Structure 1
């Protein structure tokens, strides 16, 4: 990561004023009015005070359970009962589980709750008698309490964020495709930053697009961007697309005025990626640091996906023709034989007659051209429901619905008017058809039986059409 993940302020970042919530719990209406007056125009640590008032411990309990971002509680000891305030502290810490909110205990009768014992036995942060608490001192007490709250919140947020990152790492590393990984990235960032799922998109730059205007495709998106998945970058709103292009072109994570765009370089991720995060509210320093740490996990996940994709390609793709190979055929055939759709599926093998002779006469370059021609015509002729694979040499397989895959029509793809074939020196194709409804064995055995049927058919000459018969 290092320099590649340094956050760069291209435009002034959002500086929305923080709001510090203070809960005053007291059944004395006069004291509540005096507190409200003292805090009415008080600014604290660059933010304003939002005062919430409760006139009973029961009311305060409900407010504390509802609002988890109260920075400070000004709490009278004596409310409904002589120890109501002390019981509220225990509920806040032990029942609600809030350890960050600061508590300042206030009393008009010090003898009912001696300061030494209260400070020793309860998790409170300060203790004052009401007669000592002037407006100036109240401001001092609030400043110290809110500063402590802000620091504790930052530590708690960082701890939760790091724990979340650790827990999410396994999910990221188990991903096997860019789509699967990017979907998980969106979910994890949403949780990490406590964002709405309306404004996140993950895009991958096209290979070789390190140009002034990078091209990219949207791999995954949420909310208002969801319909843009698989489209190019122009499908996004102009300002969003511009921010992503700026990130890809600068090869650096950007923190703009209304968004953050994470950058993942191809050296670490296999391809250049950018993740757009709509951050209409300002991200604090802790969240930005968590994003940097999370970026490292994302990079490793993207690298693993790139490595897995490459291994998958090597294992299941034909190097010459860039179509599925024998391994891919066996895998799909095995899935088909185990599915309910088996009875509606058919396997057709086609073999170019006298291909070895043409290869010898005209060279391997000509032979590769012929194989490419066959592969292209087959790919163009069928939908994604049909698997086209090269089994070996000049032997191809077509696996799909029997309504679409018919040997006679496959061979007809290569015929031209008044000419038997469009394959140069290769004059004919032989084929065999296996209706999977007639077969009960494994995928490997099915392919072997189909190959044996094709071999038997070719003994009769060129341009043969065989059909697998389980009784033979």
Structure 2
């Protein structure tokens, strides 16, 4: 599914400077009330270097000063700690403060004392969580260097383990968040966000996909941008990659031609071909060099991303087929009653809008959008002479017309699929009234399912402003006046208020789905 190779460095402005950037020094804290101890220690260790990193010293001349400094620093690797300062056990108190109160188990603590009788070595080593115990008289330059090597090597290894734990935690979290993405657009954005989080560094990234077996026909065979971080935010959604910066386009073209991904210290170009021949690219440029551990994490993460992407493609194709089938069925019913097919789409969008403003979860909002077009599916059981009568229905005809709510419910409730179950509720209850005077069961107020109340409002609004065989279309303001007058009677008053709060969004729906 995925092939990755380590490539020669891709040219990038500023990468040479980043590569030559000096490593951060090891931070060493000296806690001693003797100024000379600070001076001698720093003089002796001035040229010390370990793993390509020099030393940076912090000075504290009492236990109190040490505590204050430790509150604001989490990057200290080694503490050289005197025992006797403002009190006979000031240093021991600091050691206990570090481990017990600050919960800092990473920093290496070397106890130095000029009065070993005040703190016997065996007692101190056994009682306090320190890493070494030295008398000041025995700390020659050679032994001090040995202490520094041992302590810093230990600190480095501990931090590597801790970073690996954090990376694993971030990796699991990142994969979980990506798996939670509900569609390809959110999935792509989640990939970019979580890869940056995974590596714990700043990254500029772009995700593109060439979909040859899925999506709209005009996307087939064309590589278009799915998502981008802020660095590439100027790109329009679905923009062609020909509009990308030249170095990005060159990198992506190379991956497409070679059909594999590339790494260098400042770039990651991932190439993925799914089992259905969908090609996906991920381009990332890093502000700092990417080490071998980060590369390994990226490979593991992106392998999961590729699998998830393939699953989402299949899921979205199934969902799109389901949505299309629902709309086709809804439009077929509307066309039989000589009404425009745009009605079911507008009812779906208005219902989703009201569902969102009512506080429904995103998944439930989408279910409302897909199920509400089925509200009048029961009309397939209504005779043409009643369904398309140009004038007012008589009493018998009206009783026949009202049966479409029950017919729709019986038809849809036979399925155990969630959308059709919701569609059954909507079909059954969208002609109920808030005041209890509706049909078929005369439900009152909150007895009516929220889905039925929402579609009742959306359906009547669109029916009023649309032309029918038995009436002319109303002006939009006249329809709104009727809705206002019926708040608390025919309609849930809270939903009416939400509709008026979102009028601009409602007008946008009518601009997007006009009558043909």
TM-score (normalizing by structure 1) = 0.65
Query: For the aligned residues, what is the CA RMSD?
Result: 3.7
Q: Does 1:264 align with 2:272?
A: yes
Question: Could you list the per-position Cα deviations for residues 132-151 of structure 1 after superposition, in whole angstroms to 9, with x for gaps in the alignment?
Answer: 22222222221222121111
Distance 1:307 1:272 in 2: 14
Pairwise CA distance, 1:155: 1.0
Question: Could you list the per-position Cα deviations for residues 254-295 of structure 1 after superposition, in whole angstroms to 9, with x for gaps in the alignment?
Answer: 222432233333239x73223333322123333333223322
Which residue in the other structure is 1:255 paired with?
Answer: 263
Q: Does 1:204 align with 2:203?
A: no
Which residue in the other structure is 2:455 paired with?
Answer: none
Change (3 A) 1:280 1:307: same
Q: Does 1:244 align with 2:252?
A: yes
Q: Does 1:467 align with 2:469?
A: yes
Distance 1:451 1:7 in 2: 66
Change (3 A) 1:6 1:256: closer
Question: Could you list the per-position Cα deviations for residues 217-258 of structure 1 after superposition, in whole angstroms to 9, with x for gaps in the alignment?
Answer: 222222222232522334443323333333444333322243
Q: Does 1:326 align with 2:326?
A: yes
Does the Cα contact within 8 Å between 1:171 and 1:184 map onto a contact in 2? yes
Distance 1:89 1:249 in 2: 60
Does the Cα contact within 8 Å between 2:10 and 2:267 map onto a contact in 1? no
Q: In structure 1, which of residues 264, 284, 295 is the aligned counterpart of residue 291 of structure 2?
A: 284
User: How many residues get paired?
Assistant: 357
Q: How does 1:67-82 map to 2 (within 5 A)?
A: 67-82=73-88
Question: Could you list the per-position Cα deviations for residues 140-168 of structure 1 after superposition, in whole angstroms to 9, with x for gaps in the alignment?
Answer: 22122212111111111111221222233
Q: Does 1:233 align with 2:241?
A: yes
Q: In structure 1, which of residues 61, 65, 78 is the aligned counterpart of residue 67 of structure 2?
A: 61
Distance 2:171 2:470 in 1: 55
Question: Could you list the per-position Cα deviations for residues 294-336 of structure 1 after superposition, in whole angstroms to 9, with x for gaps in the alignment?
Answer: 22332232222122112213323xxxxxxx3335775xx9xxx
Change (3 A) 1:174 1:37: same
**5+ residue gaps, structure 2:** 214-220, 348-370, 391-466, 472-516
Paired residue secondary structure (2:234): helix
Which residue in the other structure is 1:315 paired with?
Answer: 322
Change (3 A) 1:109 1:241: farther
Q: In structure 2, which of residues 299, 302, 308 is the aligned counterpart of residue 295 of structure 1?
A: 302
TM-score (normalizing by structure 2) = 0.60
Question: Could you list the per-position Cα deviations for residues 333-376 of structure 1 after superposition, in whole angstroms to 9, with x for gaps in the alignment?
Answer: 9xxxxxxxxxxxxx99457x9xxxxxxxxxxxxxxxxxxxxxxx
Which residue in the other structure is 1:417 paired with?
Answer: none
Change (3 A) 1:174 1:113: same
Q: How does 1:392-411 map to 2 (within 5 A)?
A: 399=344
Which residue in the other structure is 1:4 paired with?
Answer: 3
Q: Does 1:31 align with 2:37?
A: yes
Structure showing the higher helix proportion among its residues: 2
Does the Cα contact within 8 Å between 2:110 and 2:134 map onto a contact in 1? yes
Distance 1:294 1:155 in 2: 19
Pairwise CA distance, 1:15: 5.9
Paired residue secondary structure (2:80): strand
Q: In structure 2, which of residues 349, 371, 374 is the aligned counterpart of residue 444 of structure 1?
A: 374
Q: In structure 2, which of residues 10, 28, 36 is the aligned counterpart of residue 22 of structure 1?
A: 28
Which residue in the other structure is 1:338 paired with?
Answer: none
Does the Cα contact within 8 Å between 1:21 and 1:70 map onto a contact in 2? yes
Change (3 A) 1:180 1:113: same
Does the Cα contact within 8 Å between 1:24 and 1:51 map onto a contact in 2? yes
Q: How does 1:47-446 map to 2 (within 5 A)?
A: 47-196=53-202, 199-207=204-212, 216-230=223-237, 231-267=239-275, 271-316=278-323, 324-327=324-327, 349-350=334-335, 399=344, 443-446=373-376
